[in-house]
Structure 1
Amino acid sequence: MFEPIQIPFGCVMLFNVVDLKPGVKMEDVELVLGEMCNVVKNTYGDDKGGFIGGQVFKYSGFVSKEGSVGAAPDDEDKSMKQGDLVIVTYWKSFDQHEKSHADKVFKEKFSELAAFCDDTYEVGYEMLWQGVPE
């Protein structure tokens, strides 16, 4: 569950921003989120399903002024929509991702998480480069 993941070159990455409703805390969604991630891992994690691996991050409030171009928002600036959580998943193809997320099993678990949310959106990226220190 907490093992490192290896991401093969040529995969796609989906970045799902999750904005929780006011008053909802991480503790409120931990079980639902864990169950949803487990369904993805165990149901779609093969060559046919295309799931490679994933990660969940919570927003911690820090903003990199060194990694920003132009006017970097400060920690108090709420005009930048960052979400409370992000779910990052890696797939062999975008089509496999879409097929899994259209599946009844996934939709049931995702709808449980969505009940705690004001908004979620998911954007996809194709890998262009990866590397490790030599």
Structure 2
Amino acid sequence: MFNSIEIPFGCSMLFNVVDLKQGVTVEDVELLLGEMCNVVKNNYGDDNGGFIGGQVYRNAGFISEEGSVQPEYEGKKRIKQNMGDLVIVTYWKSFEQHEKSHADALFKEKFSKLAAYCDNTFEVGYEMLWQGVPENH
């Protein structure tokens, strides 16, 4: 469940922002989120399904001065972000396989339960252009 993942070059990455309703905590949805992720992992992780791996992140609010170019962030270590409380990052062999899996009734049932706790959720797809690891010296 908590193993590292290898991301093959050329895969599609889907970045799902989850904005929880006021008063809803990550702990409130943790079990639903785990069930949804297990449905994906256990049902769409073959050649037909196309799921490669995924990660879930909690928004910690810290910001990189070195990687940000907006002047209003200068000198700030943390900010209140309007980017959601969680992000779900998933990797797929193709965008089409992602869409097919998410149209499936089994996934929709789990996702709709999570969505009931959200003000907003949106998922944006990305195509990989580069990846790398440190060179061994």
TM-score, normalising length from structure 1? Answer: 0.94
- State the SS of the aligned residue for 2:114: helix
Matched, 1:57 2:50: no
| Aligned residues with identical type, % of pairs | 75
Q: CA deviation digits over 1:87-108, x for unaligned, max 9? A: 0000000000000000000000
- State the SS of the aligned residue for 1:13: strand
1:72 Cα offset (Å): 5.0
RMSD: 1.1
Change (3 A) 1:81 1:94: same
AA matched with 1:40 = V
Matched, 1:7 2:3: no
TM-score, normalising length from structure 2? Answer: 0.92
CA distance in 2, matches of 1:129, 1:41: 25
Matched, 1:109 2:88: no
Structure 1: gaps (5+ residues): none
Corresponding residue pairs, total: 132
Q: Which runs of 4+ in 1 moved over 3 A?
A: 72-76
Per the alignment, residue 30 of structure 1 pairs with 30
Matched, 1:120 2:124: no
CA distance in 1, matches of 2:50, 2:3: 19
AA matched with 2:124 = V
